[in-house]
Structure 1
Amino acid sequence: MWHALPDETLRAQLTVGALVAFGVARVVAAAIGAQRGWRIATVTQWFLCAAFVFCLPQILQIVFAVDVHTAYVELQGKIVGCALGLFCAPIVSHRIGYE
């Protein structure tokens, strides 16, 4: 028998996944960027673009009306996770000494 996950569970899982993925990747990118002389503003812009691309499938599902409810729940989780990850990662990078 098929059971769907509740919206809160799906949203929370996607939030934590995006938070960890973007948070860790942003800290690693700051460390690499510090060694290679990249501007932190450029690294931040790359990750904002990456977050948009990460959320693009759900945006397209909503625009083209394919399973809108599930896409909306997934989009909420991904946006919150990306926002938290990209907000907290510079703080962690600064504490480590890369920014």
Structure 2
Amino acid sequence: MWHVLPDEYVRAQLAVGAFVALGAARVVAAVLGAQHGWRISAVTRAFLVLSVALCLPQALELLIVSGSHAAFVELQGKAAGCALALFCAPIVSHRLGYE
């Protein structure tokens, strides 16, 4: 029997997944950037592009399939997680002394 998860669960799972994946990668990139002399603005721009690329499949599906409710819910979750990661990861990197 097929059961559909409520939208809140899907949204929360994708938000947490994007937050953890992008946040951890951003902190690691700040560490590598500090060791290799990269500009922190370049690392930030790269992760902005990465967050857009992470949300791109759902955005394209939403544009192509006009009534796709599942794509909209997934896009909301991923966008919230990416926004949180892009806000919180520089704070963590700064606290660790890499920015």
Alpha-carbon contact 1:61-1:67 (below 8 Å) kept = no
Which whole-Å CA distance do the structure 1 matches of 2:61 and 2:83 have between them? Answer: 21
Percent of residue pairs bearing the same amino acid type: 65
Residue of structure 2 in register with 1:75 after alignment: 75
1:66 Cα deviation from its structure 2 partner? 6.2
1:41 Cα deviation from its structure 2 partner? 0.3
CA RMSD of aligned residues (A): 0.9
Alpha-carbon contact 1:30-1:98 (below 8 Å) kept = yes
Residue of structure 1 in register with 2:92 after alignment: 92
Which whole-Å CA distance do the structure 2 matches of 1:15 and 1:44 have between them? Answer: 20
Residue of structure 2 in register with 1:12 after alignment: 12
1:74 Cα deviation from its structure 2 partner? 0.1
Where does structure 2 lack aligned partners over 5 or more consecutive residues? none
Which whole-Å CA distance do the structure 1 matches of 2:22 and 2:48 have between them? Answer: 10
Q: Deviations over 1:43-62 (max 9, x none)?
A: 00000000001000000101
Question: The residue matched to 2:2 in structure 1 has which SS?
Answer: coil
Q: TM-score, normalised by structure 1?
A: 0.98
What amino acid does structure 2 have at the position aligned with 1:5? L
Where does structure 1 lack aligned partners over 5 or more consecutive residues? none
Q: TM-score, normalised by structure 2?
A: 0.98
Residue of structure 2 in register with 1:24 after alignment: 24
